[in-house]
C-alpha cells in the first residue's frame, strides 16, 4: 500500500544548514526524472561483492523486519524478502516504487513499498530489527546525513542492526558546484540537481556515534560496508 505524504516532523527542518529548499527539491526531481526513464524493473542483482553477505549478516543478528531506505526499484528489498525477511522498501520516487511493486507482483514476492521522503518517515520509533541503506547517504550532505542516522537509530528496536554501503563517489568527471562540506551539486544536463558526496571513515564514525558498535570495512575499490548496532 502506498502511503500518502505524512505530516510527520521533518527531521531536516532545523538542520538543513548547507543548502536551500530549491537545491533539496532539485535533487528529488533528478531522481524522479531518472527513474521515469526506466520502463521495466531491471531484475538483476548488482555485481557487488558484498551482496551475498547482506542476508547472512542480518540473520546472524536475528533480524526479521527490515526497512530498505532509498530502495530505488527495490532489488535489495526483493532480495531480502526472498531470503525470508519481512521487508518495507521506501523511496521518494513514485516511479521507482512503482517499478518495485511491478517486480514484486510479477514474481509473487511479499514486500511493502512506500513513497516517502527520508526527511519525513513516519514509521514510528523502535519498529524495525534492521535498516539497510545501499548507496543512499552519499546523496546527502553531512548536515542532513546526521539527522538521517539519528532517525535510523530511533526506528530500530533496541539491539537492532543498521547495514549500509557508502560508495567511493564524487571523483569522476562532471559539472558541479560544491557545498561547504564538499558535497557536489551537479549541473550537467544528465545529472542536474543530483547531490553526491564521499564520506570519510572519520565522518562515518561521526554519523554512527550514537550506536553501541560500528564496523567499517573497505569493499569494492574504496566503498565502505558498514554495520552499526543499536544498544540494547
Ligand atoms: C543511488 S540510488 C540507490 C537505490 C538503491 N538503494 C540501490 O541500491 O540501487 C539513490 C536512491 O535514493 C532515493 N532518494 C533520493 N533522495 C531521497 C529522499 N529524500 N527520500 C527518499 N529517497 C530518496 C532515490 O530516488 C534513489 O532511488
Is the entire prediction scored with pTM above 0.85? Answer: yes
pLDDT of residue 10: 72
Indicate if the pLDDT at residue 6 is higher than 50.
no
Q: What are the pLDDT digits (tens) for 138-156?
A: 999 998 999 999 999 999 9
DSSP code of 18? S
Nearest CA to ligand 1 atom 13: 70
**Residue 13's pLDDT band (cuts 50, 70, 90):** low
Report the alpha-carbon distance of residue 74 to residue 80 in Å, rounded.
10
Instruction: Please give the pLDDT value at position 14.
Output: 59
β-strand pairing of 223-229 with 213-219? antiparallel
> Who lines ligand 1 at CB under 6 A?
27-28, 31, 70-72, 75-76, 91-93, 96, 117-119, 134-136, 139
Structure confidence at residue 7 (pLDDT): 47
Tell me the average pLDDT of the chain.
Answer: 92
Domains delineated in the chain? 64-165+200-229 (3.40.50.150)
Separation between Cα atoms, residue 168 and residue 123, nearest integer Å = 30
Alpha helix segments (H runs only) across the chain: 21-36, 53-60, 75-82, 94-106, 142-155, 201-207
Residue 8 pLDDT greater than 60, yes or no: no
Judge residue 189's burial from the number of C-beta atoms within 10 Å of its C-beta, 0-12 exposed, 13-18 middle, 19 or more buried: exposed
* Ranges 48-57, 77-86, 122-131, 180-189: which has the least confidence: 180-189
Q: What is the mean pLDDT of residues 161-177?
A: 90
Alpha-carbon distance 93 to 70, whole Å?
9
Residue 190 has pLDDT above 90, yes or no: no
Residues 6+ apart with CB under 8 A from 25: none
19 pLDDT higher than 80: no
- Residue 120's pLDDT is 86
4, pLDDT greater than 50: no
pLDDT tens column, 205-232: 999 999 999 999 999 888 999 999 999 9
**β pairing state of 86-91 and 156-166:** unpaired
For the CA of 68, the nearest atom of ligand 1 = 6
Amino acid at each position: 500500500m502506498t502511503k500518502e505524504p505524512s505530516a510527520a516532523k521533518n527531521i531536516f527542518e532545523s538542520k538543513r544548514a548547507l543548502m536551500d529548499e530549491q537545491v533539496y527539491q532539485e535533487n528529488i526531481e533528478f531522481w524522479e526524472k531518472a527513474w521515469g526513464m526506466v520502463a521495466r524493473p531491471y531484475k538483476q542483482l548488482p555485481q557487488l561483492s558484498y551482496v551475498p553477505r547482506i542476508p547472512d549478516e542480518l540473520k546472524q543478528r536475528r533480524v526479521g523486519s527490515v526497512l530498505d531506505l532509498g530502495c530505488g526499484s527495490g532489488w535489495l528489498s526483493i532480495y531480502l524478502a526472498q531470503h525470508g525477511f519481512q521487508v518495507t522498501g521506501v523511496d521518494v520516487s513514485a516511479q521507482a516504487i512503482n517499478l518495485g511493486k511491478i517486480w514484486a507482483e510479477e514474481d509473487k514476492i511479499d514486500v511493502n513499498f512506500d513513497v516517502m521522503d527520508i526527511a519525513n518517515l513516519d514509521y514510528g520509533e523502535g519498529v524495525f530489527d534492521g535498516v539497510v541503506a545501499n548507496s543512499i547517504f552519499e546523496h546527502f550532505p553531512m548536515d542532513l546525513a546526521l539527522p538521517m542516522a539519528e532517525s535510523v537509530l530511533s526506528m530500530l528496536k533496541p539491539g537492532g542492526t543498521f547495514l549500509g554501503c557508502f560508495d567511493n563517489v564524487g571523483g569522476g568527471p562532471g559539472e558541479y558546484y560544491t557545498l561547504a562540506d564538499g558535497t557536489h551539486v551537479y549541473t550537467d544536463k544528465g545529472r542536474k540537481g543530483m547531490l553526491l558526496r564521499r564520506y570519510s571513515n572519520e565522518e562515518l564514525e561521526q554519523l554512527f556515534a550514537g550506536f553501541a558498535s560500528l564496523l567499517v570495512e573497505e569493499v569494492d575499490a574504496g566503498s565502505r560496508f558498514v554495520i552499526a548496532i543499536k544498544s540494547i
